[in-house]
Amino acid sequence: MPPLNEEQLDQLRDERREQIKYAALRVFACYGLCGTKMSMIACEAGVSQGLSYRYFKSKDELFVELIEEAMREALEAVKYVSEQPGTPTELMAMITEGMLEENNKYYFMLVQQARTSENMPERVKQIFEQYSNQAIIDQLVSIFIKGQDAGEFIAGDPQQLLFWYFALISGLMLQVQESDGYGLPNATFLMRVLLK
């Protein structure tokens, strides 16, 4: 007779899994894949070293799962906003603000760690190909063109301008550490590069 029923166990397992996963996010984001030791994750999560391997097959797999989640949620956020009412400028501002939110920071750092390292697991490269340029930017191209037509945005290839815009923001978020004391700028500042 098991002490807990199946459902309770499942819930417990899910909680543990998340606990380890988000500890890993924080550590990977700061130290990168190869700079992170499994012991650091275990320590951050407050569990033993071995336990992580009951929930994730390997360090790489744990990293990949986080990358996948980051990209999936980024895409969903952009999709959601692009379906809202508002002028192109308003929508763009919403997306920009969403990106700048504090609790997105770890995900941005994680993705940056992955993008700036050559020796990533094959699966990470695949995910980037699948999501990065295509999907996310494509969601916004039509909005951007509307904004250009409305005279709100500067002229130029929408794909390219959007790519640069996200690169700027992603890069910015990484540079900005609490220690610098400058904090993140608001959306208005950043949008100046796009607005006429």
Partner DNA sequence: GATGAATGAGCTTTCATTCAT
Partner DNA sequence: AATGAATGAAAGCTCATTCAT
Residues that bind DNA (CB under 7 A): 1-4, 9, 12-13, 16, 36-39, 47-51, 53-54, 57-60
Q: How far is the CB of 102 from a copy of itself (least distance, A)?
A: 16
Contact in structure between 196 and 153 (CB atoms under 8 Å): yes
Q: Which residues, including other chains, have CB under 8 Å from residue 40's CB and lie 6 or more apart?
A: 27, 31
Q: How far is the CB of 118 from a copy of itself (least distance, A)?
A: 4
Tokens 């009412």 belong to 85
Residue 43 binding partner per list DNA, a copy of itself, none, with a CB distance cut-off of 5 to 8 Å that depends on partner kind: none
Q: Is 53 in the site for a copy of itself (CB under 8 A)?
A: no
Q: Is 134 in the site for a copy of itself (CB under 8 A)?
A: no
Nearer to a copy of itself, 77 or 120 (CB): 120
Contact in structure between 82 and 136 (CB atoms under 8 Å): no
Nearer to DNA, 59 or 105 (CB): 59
SS3 letters across 80-139: HHHCCCCCHHHHHHHHHHHHHCHHHHHHHHHHHHHHCCCCCCHHHHHHHHHHHHHHHHHH
Nearer to DNA, 38 or 184 (CB): 38
Nearer to a copy of itself, 46 or 80 (CB): 46
Q: Is 89 in the site for a copy of itself (CB under 8 A)?
A: no
The burial class, CB within 10 Å (0-12 / 13-18 / 19+), for 160 is: exposed
Question: Which residues make up the interface to a copy of itself (CB under 8 A)?
Answer: 30-35, 109, 112-113, 115-119, 133, 154, 159-160, 163-164, 166-177, 180, 182, 185, 189-190, 192-193
